[in-house]
Amino acid sequence: MKHIITSGLLLISSVFTLKAQDTIPLAFEEAVRIGIDQNLDFQMLNNRQDVLRAEKINAKLWHLPRINLGSNVGRNIGQQFQQVEGELIVTNEIQDYITGNLDVSMPIFNGTRRINQTIARKHFEDAGQHDIARAKEDVVFNVAQQYLQVLLDEQLYNIAKENLENQKKQLEQIEGFVEAGLRTLSDLYNQQSEVARLETVALDAKIQWETDLWTLAETLQLEPNKIPQPIAIGVESFGSDLATLSYMELYDIAVANRKDLLQQQSLEEANRKMLAVSRGMLYPQLNAFFNYSTFSTSFDQRPMREQFFTIYPQRSFGLRLNIPIFNNFDNRTDVIRSKVELKNQGLQRKALERQISQDVKLSYENYRAAIRREQATEVQLKAAEEAQLAISERFRLGVSNFVDLAQANQQLVTAQSDYAQAQYTLYFQDIIMRYALGILDTLE
């Protein structure tokens, strides 16, 4: 009896603690949205994508001329050199000056570096987009797993609580039977012990439910003292078109949609172009240039505007050829580095293709097993319900003993729990399958 009272007090305290918190009704789609918005890794990937986007624009603009405008304003104090009537006169003077220059350069040929660099940056940006998409699926997968676990915990707690209430009513009936002399005291004590045990079972189920609620709240980064209240999902009427597809059909879907594979393919293409960029450094470089410079000085008494724009301007333009002959093996080292990076990307792609094949195969087999388990536990539950009704009636009539009744009750609770777990497992297995195929975003 002391154990019953202690368990009851703990259960009441646990319920009061949960009610003291602010609960937020939360649909699955809303939980996914919050999870994506609050996920640190996802936010960092989006920030990095801004850099990749800027680098792509930068590579495109390399095809245009570079234009730089500069000016200096200063004062020279000390010996000044002046040429007057063919003589070089050195005087100790103060000279104020202003200079201006405009430099324009335009690459004409650089070993196709600009073209390959532009294509490579485009592939790098695509790889970043695929990385973001896969990270989004990771968030959806984690939120879905925790969201469904909370719903399952709640259902298991309700099953435990309902079983506890039924056994309490059974205890009242047995007490009446004992008073009427129809049952022995041992049946009463056994039932009291069973009720005490179920108090603990219900308490453990409640604690597990609360723990997973707080885990989901932490994943969603909710405010302190706020916990989500997930809205139930119709797992009972769940059906999926993936169950009708064969393994090869599922594998083809995965190859076409897995964001991490698409990312790896984009990275491999980008590094192939970067190898071409590094090889371009081995070829001659031809650039066109134009320079405009002018100045004005305090030594000249003519107006500054006339000096700056009329008297002293100089213009130069032409072609600049650069032929690499010996650069301390720098260029060839860059080529070797690019080759190794390309080979490594190819190895990673092949490893990822093998992993995708295994993921699809495993999720396919588990999905089929989950369907069979759901069907088997449904039969198990119906049989347990019929058996419990029959043995309860026999116990009431005094034909069956307490052991038979307790065993039937336990089998019914086990069947209810197994069926609930099978339903949620099948629903979550569909999520695992979609995650393996790279189409998990269709859940949103």
Residue 224 and residue 146: Cα distance in Å, rounded?
19
Residue 28 and residue 238: Cα distance in Å, rounded?
15
| pLDDT > 90? residue 185 | no
Residue 280: both structure tokens together:
């371009």
Residue 442 and residue 355: Cα distance in Å, rounded?
22
Among 13-17, 153-157, 298-302, the range scoring the smallest mean pLDDT is 13-17
At residue 16, the pLDDT reads 44
Report the predicted TM-score, pTM, of the whole model to 2 decimal places. Answer: 0.82
Dump pLDDT digits (tens) for 258-272: 999 999 999 999 999
The more confident residue out of 17 and 260 is 260
Dump pLDDT digits (tens) for 387-443: 989 988 888 787 778 888 888 889 999 999 999 999 999 999 999 999 999 998 755
Residue 32 and residue 26: Cα distance in Å, rounded?
10
Q: Which of 160, 183, 159, 161 is nearest to 171 (CA)?
A: 183
| pLDDT > 80? residue 324 | yes
Backbone angles phi, psi at 179, to 5 degrees: -60, -35
Average pLDDT over residues 193-222: 93
Q: HSE on the CB side for 263, CA within 13 Å? A: 15
At residue 398, the pLDDT reads 76
At residue 89, the pLDDT reads 66
The more confident residue out of 399 and 289 is 289
Q: How confident is the model at residue 1 (pLDDT cuts 50, 70, 90)?
A: very low
Q: How confident is the model at residue 6 (pLDDT cuts 50, 70, 90)?
A: very low
Q: Which of 238, 236, 148, 160 is nearest to 198 (CA)?
A: 160
Q: Which of 227, 225, 222 is nearest to 153 (CA)?
A: 227
Among 224-233, 234-243, 309-318, 358-367, the range scoring the smallest mean pLDDT is 234-243
At residue 83, the pLDDT reads 58
For the chain, counts of helices (H) and of strands (E): 10, 6
Q: How many CB atoms lie within 10 A of CB 51?
A: 12
Among 8-12, 33-37, 131-135, the range scoring the smallest mean pLDDT is 8-12
At residue 53, the pLDDT reads 96
At residue 21, the pLDDT reads 64
Residue 424 and residue 184: Cα distance in Å, rounded?
42
At residue 339, the pLDDT reads 96
Dump pLDDT digits (tens) for 79-133: 766 655 556 666 777 888 899 999 999 999 988 899 999 999 999 999 999 999 9
Q: Name the average pLDDT for the chain.
A: 88
Q: Which fold has domain 2-65+110-284+330-443?
A: Outer membrane efflux proteins (OEP) (1.20.1600)
Domain boundaries, the chain: 2-65+110-284+330-443
Dump pLDDT digits (tens) for 325-364: 988 888 899 999 999 999 999 999 999 999 999 999 999 9
